[in-house]
Amino acid sequence: MTLWIIFAGLLAAVLITVLWPLLQPRAANADRADYDIEVYLDQLRELERDVQRELIDEVQAGAAKLEIERRLLAASKAAEGVAGNPKLARGGVPVALLLAIAISAATIGLYVDIGSPDLPNLPFAQRAPAPTEDPQVAQARSRLAAVEERLVAEPENADVWRDLGTLRLAVGDQNGAVQAFAQAMTLSGGRADIASVYAEALTYAADGLVTPQAKELFEGVLRENAEEPRARFFMALARYQAGFREEALELWAALARDATPGAPWLPAVTDRIRRTAAEVGADVANFLPAPTDPTQPGPTNEDIAAAQDLNAEEQQEMIRSMVERLASRLENEPDDVEGWRRLGQSYDVLNNPERAAEAYARALELDPNHPETLLRAGLAAGTAGDRETALVYFERLRSFLPEGGDAYRTVSEAIERITTAN
């Protein structure tokens, strides 16, 4: 009952606001009479100025003044007559009545249609909590400030710009990511790893369209590394967008077959395979990877099928579950060096540098001088804040590199930054 009283009060307030001007008495010719009076008074003032400047003589001025005063008197009487006989504006009452009926009917009808007058009040404590931010996005947002501070100290460091672009992309700032990656490309001289993420950011900024610039960058990446999964995925997407869906399906299927078990990006690829196969009327079983050994990590066909019905957050949770399954298996098979490397890369993708550093350390216990693992381990340890361990990895890696090469200089710069920071 209280709710209806409140609604009635609100309706009354609206009606008063809308209808009050229509019900006010007003003079039909009041504005015109006031205007005439002002004109005649102005003419008298102008006539006085003409006399002072001797533009007309006294006789002419007297005749003109008499005529103006006569008209002024008539206008004054007209204004007094109108003021003493106010009346409602023509049509004011019927219009006000129609508006009152229309507003009331529309308001009540709308509430009956979409409102819920019988819904009981929901106590504040029982209301659904506000949606929380994805943990990975929150982590990326918290790391942004630290990377921006590093950028002030190292504005010419391509890797810092790359990290900034990666974090901006993670929090949804696509245009900011494009700007950061573009700067990283310039400073690095067009490094392939930066070109790949730069092209990906360009694609996202174009609402998922692989632009000519992005395509050119991906092609350059594949010339250096024909197996780079990100470039292969988006080049297949470019073929799909160009209308070659069967060709895109074959490219995605090849990428899925080449994926290492547990690759975090594999569910996205298989999702594309399933949807595209349905579009072209092909049997999806001919394009999906062969079922995996249940003793090995990674998504089974059942996992992939189940992922199609999950939202983004649930899919991320499923990926994390598969990564943890790989970690659990490696505890029972600690001599699987490739497994530890895959686990480290998976944690890199999940933005978990601490766990990635631990996995790479286990891989290096089995193969201490593997250059790529040393590099990844150093980056993960540095990101996790363990500068001393990162320095050990980078110095060991540099000892295997030819002096004067780009890789040697890059690692040397990383060592210098760590040493200076310490």
With beta carbons less than 8 A apart as the criterion, state whether 391 and 414 touch. no
When mean pLDDT is compared over 4-13, 90-99, 253-262, the highest value belongs to: 253-262
| pLDDT at res. 165 | 87
pLDDT of residue 327: 81
Least confident of 46-60, 111-125, 163-177, 365-379: 111-125
Instruction: Inform me whether the pLDDT recorded for 298 exceeds 90.
Output: no
The pLDDT of residue 215 = 93
Sorted by sequence, the CB contacts under 8 Å of residue 256 that are 6+ apart come out as: 266, 269, 270, 273, 287, 288, 289
- Bridge partner list, 25: 88
Domain's final residue, options 118, 142, 164: 118
Residue 394 has pLDDT above 50, yes or no: yes
369 in a structural domain? yes
Least confident of 204-213, 254-263, 350-359, 391-400: 254-263
Contact 340, 362 (CB under 8 A): yes
For the segment 284-294, what is each residue's pLDDT rounded down to a tens digit? Answer: 888 887 654 44
Q: What's the CA gap between 124 and 294, in Å, rounded?
A: 48
- Residue 200: pLDDT above 80? yes
Does residue 214 sit within a domain?
no
| 3-state secondary structure (DSSP) of residue 228 | coil
Instruction: Give a yes or no: residue 264 inside a domain.
Output: no
Helix 174-188 and helix 158-170, axial crossing angle in degrees, nearest 10: 160
In a domain, 128, yes or no: no
* pLDDT per residue as tens digits for the range 404-419: 666 677 778 878 887 8
- Between CA 324 and CA 418 the distance in angstroms is 31
Mean pLDDT of the chain: 76
How many Å apart are CA 201 and CA 203, to the nearest integer?
5
70, 102, 118: which is the final residue of a domain? 118
**CA-CA-CA-CA dihedral for 362, 367, 370, 372, to nearest 10:** -30
Q: Specify the number of domains making up the chain.
A: 2
Within 13 Å and on the Cβ side, how many CA atoms surround 249? 20
- Decide which of 286 and 17 is more confident: 286
In a domain, 362, yes or no: yes
CATH code for position 371: 1.25.40.10
- Which residues touch 347 (CB under 8 Å, ≥6 apart)? 323, 353, 355, 356, 359, 380
Q: Is residue 191 part of a domain?
A: no
Query: Is residue 85 situated within a structural domain?
Result: yes
Q: What is the mean pLDDT of residues 40-54?
A: 77
Phi, psi of 125 (to 5 degrees): -65, -25
Residue type, 7: F
Q: In the predicted model, is pLDDT for residue 70 greater than 50?
A: yes
pTM equals 0.44
Residue 398 neighbours by CB distance under 10 Å: 18
Q: What is the mean pLDDT of residues 104-123?
A: 61
Q: Using alpha carbons, list the distances in angstroms from residue 238 to 227, 231, 268, 316, 328.
A: 17, 10, 16, 25, 38
Q: Is 210 part of any domain?
A: no
**Mean pLDDT across 128-137:** 58
Per-residue pLDDT tens for 300-313?
445 545 545 555 55
Enumerate helices (H) and strands (E) in the chain, giving the number of each.
19, 2
**Domain endpoint, select from 94, 118, 142:** 118
Domain residue limits at 338: 331-422
